[in-house]
Amino acid sequence: MRRSKPVFDFDEVLASCTRSALHLEMRDAYAVDNETGRYAQWRSGHRFDPADEASWWRPWHTQIAETVARGVEVRRARIVSEPVTEYIRFEFDGSFMNVAAGEQVRWLPRRRASDIALPGNDFWLFDERIVRFGHFTGDGEYTGEEWTEEPTVARLCSTAFGAVWERAVPHEAFKV
């Protein structure tokens, strides 16, 4: 599988953020390691205990916690079909980890997003100026990323994210 070479390094861009890092996810499933990964463990009944942070805290959580500690607002919005897929239930169950690291998480039922102009791909938007699109196959396999600083694209992503965020349900109030 060919992956496009990124223009930026994700970790460096996140580390250089000063105001915001926004992430919009629009798929109902992502390909994950179905044999040994967290999704497989979840499917077999394993659930992480929020009180046992040592069992689930990963470098990603440290990176987000450090970003938030610098005063950067990290927000994640997920547009989901209802009833939700098994994968979305998995993501929902694990979102307490994102919240513990300092992310704000919201969920928007897809039927409530019909009149929002959305980019065709999931994205991260950093400080309202750098966009990283993630590309996936129909089966959810990650195929690469595309970066841009094009102002019109950044505005589209900012406007779309803002509209989704405004309508979305905070994680603690969303029911799967």
Closest among 52, 145, 38, 126 to 90, alpha carbons compared:
38
Question: How does DSSP assign 3-63, residue by residue?
Answer: -PPPSS-HHHHHHH-SSEEEEEE--S-----TTTSHHHHHHTT----TT-HHHH--HHHHH
Query: Would you say residue 45 has pLDDT above 70?
Result: yes
Residue at 93 is within a domain? yes
Do the domain assignments include residue 72?
Answer: yes
Task: Name the residue among 73, 100, 90, 97 with its Cα closest to residue 18.
Answer: 73
- Domain of 61 in residue numbering reads as 10-173
- State residue 34's pLDDT score: 61
Residue 154: phi, psi to the nearest 5? -60, -40
Bridge-based pairing state of the strands 104-109 and 73-80: parallel
Query: Which pLDDT belongs to residue 16?
Result: 97
Helix (H, G, I), strand (E, B) or coil at 140: coil
Closest to 139 in 3D by CA, of 27, 23, 48: 27
With respect to residue 1, please indicate whether it lies within any of the assigned structural domains: no
pLDDT at 37: 87
Residue 92 belongs to some domain of the structure: yes
Q: What is the mean pLDDT of residues 55-78?
A: 97
Task: Classify residue 58: in a domain, yes or no.
Answer: yes
The answer as to whether 4 is a domain residue is no
Distances (CA, A) of 161 to 25, 31, 32, 102, 167: 10, 24, 25, 18, 10
What is the pLDDT, as a whole number, of residue 1?
43
Beta strands 73-80; 20-25: pairing state: parallel
Residue 67 included in any domain:
yes
| pLDDT per position as a tens digit, 96-149 | 999 999 999 999 999 999 999 999 999 999 999 999 999 999 989 999 999 999
Average pLDDT over every residue of 77-103? 97
12-44 confidence digits (pLDDT tens):
999 999 999 999 999 999 987 666 688 989 999
26 in any annotated domain: yes
Which CATH number goes with the domain that contains 65? Answer: 3.30.870.10
Express as a percent the part of the chain with pLDDT over 90.
88
When divided into structural domains, the chain yields a total of 1
Query: Does residue 3 register a pLDDT over 90?
Result: no
Residue 6 pLDDT > 90, yes or no?
no
Over residues 160-174, the mean pLDDT reads 98
With beta carbons less than 8 A apart as the criterion, state whether 15 and 70 touch.
no
Q: Tell me the pairing of strands 123-126 and 130-136.
A: antiparallel
